[in-house]
Structure 1
Amino acid sequence: MSPIRPVWIETVSWHTSLVMQIEAIRLMKRTKYQEMAIIDTVDFGRALVLDGFIQSTYADEPYYHEPLVHPAMVAHGSPARVLILGGGEGAALREALKYKSVREVVMVDIDGDVVKAAKEHLPAMHQGAFDDPRAKVLIMDGQAYVEEALARGEKFDVVIMDLTDPYGPEIAQGLYSAQFLGKLKALLAQGGIVVTQAGDSFFFEEEYSNVLRNFASVFKYVAEYNLWIPSFGYAVNFIAGSDWVDPRALSAEEVDKRLAQQGVSTLFYSGRVHTALMNFPIYKKFRG
């Protein structure tokens, strides 16, 4: 028999939870914006938890961060400037910096305590990305940064929203609105694309559908896809929007060609995975 260990109760939905054994709590604190914990779990290794929702774990974070970042980056083809909103653990930053064409990645996270904790406690996630000379990390409100960037006339090729869920903390909810997405569209250079994680369409169908409608009201091309994340206990949804490029139009061969040209190596994402993601049904509840 395995030794008795304390457990962490992970919130899957308001009515469902996932119980996992833990080995240690490395950090637990209330930041200015949210409850944060860094824990060591038996099955998933080290994990970042915000307001009761696991954000990333060592064991399965590539299943989240690679589909978040690469379909949009590959669809653009040759991104030079990338904006990441959120992404405090640095893993999305890590993936975006893999592209040879990238000259600058601006990462904006409102919670400096999360970024500080990630630098110290989550080295396998950021893998030194914070120290890359092409990375510009700003601790400020994402909406404020976008307003300032628009005023300066800045442009980005790819915008990645790696935020807490649409049904999560209030600090992120306004960033999924059609009004804010319109501002992100105005930030895009020609050929640009916006991508976000959009929570879960099975347990939070109404909230997910609202985000999807907002994208459809702003962008010409909208691609939705999802992937099961073991430590989340559900399939996380992603939505990409652009007026120029459509990730659904790429063949497996073209995706692999673009990854090779950019010198990108991945643990999970590939051309075959890309086409599978774009064609797999979205999880919704069947109504009996």
Structure 2
Amino acid sequence: MSAPLLFHPSPDAVYGFPHAKLVARVDSPYQRIEVWDTHQLGRLFTLDGRPMTSTGDEFIYHECMVHPAALAHPAPKTALVLGGGDGGAARQLLRHASIERIVVAELDAQVVRLTREHLPEVHGGAFDDPRVELVIGDAAHYVAAAAQATAPAQFDVVVFDLTPPDSPAAGLYTQAFYRQLKQVMSPHAALSVHLGSPYFHAERIAALLDDLHATFAVVRAMNTFIPLYGSLWMMATASDTLDPAALTVDTLTERLASRQIDALQHYGAAMHAGLFSASQSVRDKLSQFLKPSR
């Protein structure tokens, strides 16, 4: 039986799918996980009523969260995904031929189980690749342990594929955690993080960008429209040495070709610069909350 599936990106806004069909529901120790079928975006899953990933548009989010940061590195070998239990970020990272190891630190084993069963297109078999190591548990605990190891891991790419900051993942969107994370990042590493909608979460986005700027030398905001999230959506890259926004079309084309990355559905060399270009209205929305430049 169909039912309306509605999302509330802010207290005063609502959008959704009027004829969605509930496929599965599990209350894990951490959250409620639901899998839905929709006419518009195919199968999707939610966490505590928030939209996470759909088979119809997951490529937009995952391609933009992975490839700009990974392509900024000349030859990324290791990657860490915080969250990412649906496997979409790992699947995109595996496209880079130089990748030797990917750690996916996912809190909830039920997210992995349900998405592997009901959204196989998203992970594309990524968890069956020997280069992918799935660690079930708190990502913050994983990073703390890795940083304290005798020989700390050194990751070239880090992807924040987490629930938003106003969730149990709040502690990972802090300057303290970024500083700890830098202990397990290689000298020429880059991370990517999703920020939210400038139309619904401008104050939150500005606070996240301020914290990133306080911790990393190079921070670049990205934006693209994601249908499942009902809005233009902002992301960011952060690094002490790499600047994805400075990559030219020629460099991107060469790196994509040398890594044999093709058949991308959204991201590409031609649209890369546009990803890092915000409209005046978006800049105006954020400017009222951003701290003055020092």
Alignment TM class, shorter chain as reference: over 0.9
Q: In the TM superposition, what whole-angstrom CA distance separates every residue of 1:59-82 from its partner, at most 9, and x where no partner exists? A: 111111100000000011210000
Determine which of 55, 66, 72 is the counterpart of 1:58.
55
| Equivalent in the alignment of 1:252 | 249
Structure 1: which 5+ residue stretches go unaligned? Answer: none
Q: Which AA in structure 2 matches 1:110?
A: L
Determine which of 82, 97, 100 is the counterpart of 1:85.
82
**Any residues of structure 2 matched to 1:106-117 within 5 Å, and which?**
106-117=103-114
- Which sits farther off after the overlay, 119-128 or 198-207? 198-207
- Per the alignment, in what secondary structure is the counterpart of residue 279 of structure 1? coil
Please report how far the alpha carbon of residue 6 of structure 1 lies from its aligned counterpart in structure 2 after TM superposition.
2.4
| Equivalent in the alignment of 1:192 | 189
**Any residues of structure 2 matched to 1:91-170 within 5 Å, and which?**
91-152=88-149, 153-167=152-166, 169=167
Contact 2:222–2:234 (Cα < 8 Å) also in 1: yes
Q: Which AA in structure 1 matches 2:268?
A: S
Q: How many residues matched? A: 282
Partner Cα distance (2:49, 2:249) in 1:
37
Contact 1:185–1:194 (Cα < 8 Å) also in 2: no
Matched, 1:31 2:36: no
Contact 2:2–2:22 (Cα < 8 Å) also in 1: no
- Per the alignment, in what secondary structure is the counterpart of residue 228 of structure 2? coil
Partner Cα distance (1:159, 1:27) in 2:
31
| Equivalent in the alignment of 2:268 | 270
Partner Cα distance (2:256, 2:10) in 1:
36
Matched, 1:181 2:181: no
| Equivalent in the alignment of 1:226 | 223
Please report how far the alpha carbon of residue 52 of structure 1 lies from its aligned counterpart in structure 2 after TM superposition.
1.4
Q: In the TM superposition, what whole-angstrom CA distance separates every residue of 1:116-154 from its partner, at most 9, and x where no partner exists? A: 111111101101011001000010101000011111211
Please report how far the alpha carbon of residue 58 of structure 1 lies from its aligned counterpart in structure 2 after TM superposition.
1.1
Q: In the TM superposition, what whole-angstrom CA distance separates every residue of 1:175-203 from its partner, at most 9, and x where no partner exists? A: 01011011112211121111111122321
Contact 1:7–1:21 (Cα < 8 Å) also in 2: yes
Determine which of 69, 73, 78 is the counterpart of 2:70.
73
Please report how far the alpha carbon of residue 5 of structure 1 lies from its aligned counterpart in structure 2 after TM superposition.
4.6
- Per the alignment, in what secondary structure is the counterpart of residue 181 of structure 2? helix
Partner Cα distance (2:194, 2:74) in 1:
21
Q: Which AA in structure 1 matches 2:4?
A: V
Partner Cα distance (2:37, 2:253) in 1:
35
Contact 1:166–1:208 (Cα < 8 Å) also in 2: no
Partner Cα distance (1:204, 1:135) in 2:
33
Q: Which AA in structure 2 matches 1:92?
A: A
Determine what percentage of the aligned residue pairs are the same residue: 32
Partner Cα distance (2:111, 2:53) in 1:
12
Contact 1:177–1:214 (Cα < 8 Å) also in 2: yes
Q: Which AA in structure 1 matches 2:42?
A: G
- Per the alignment, in what secondary structure is the counterpart of residue 223 of structure 2? strand
Partner Cα distance (2:209, 2:16) in 1:
30
- Which sits farther off after the overlay, 152-161 or 198-207? 198-207
TM-score w.r.t. length of structure 2: 0.92
Please report how far the alpha carbon of residue 285 of structure 1 lies from its aligned counterpart in structure 2 after TM superposition.
4.1
Partner Cα distance (2:140, 2:10) in 1:
27
Partner Cα distance (1:181, 1:244) in 2:
15
Contact 2:102–2:132 (Cα < 8 Å) also in 1: yes
- Per the alignment, in what secondary structure is the counterpart of residue 164 of structure 2? coil
- Per the alignment, in what secondary structure is the counterpart of residue 6 of structure 1? strand
Please report how far the alpha carbon of residue 23 of structure 1 lies from its aligned counterpart in structure 2 after TM superposition.
4.4
Partner Cα distance (1:79, 1:187) in 2:
14
Contact 1:252–1:270 (Cα < 8 Å) also in 2: no
Matched, 1:15 2:6: no
Contact 2:223–2:277 (Cα < 8 Å) also in 1: no
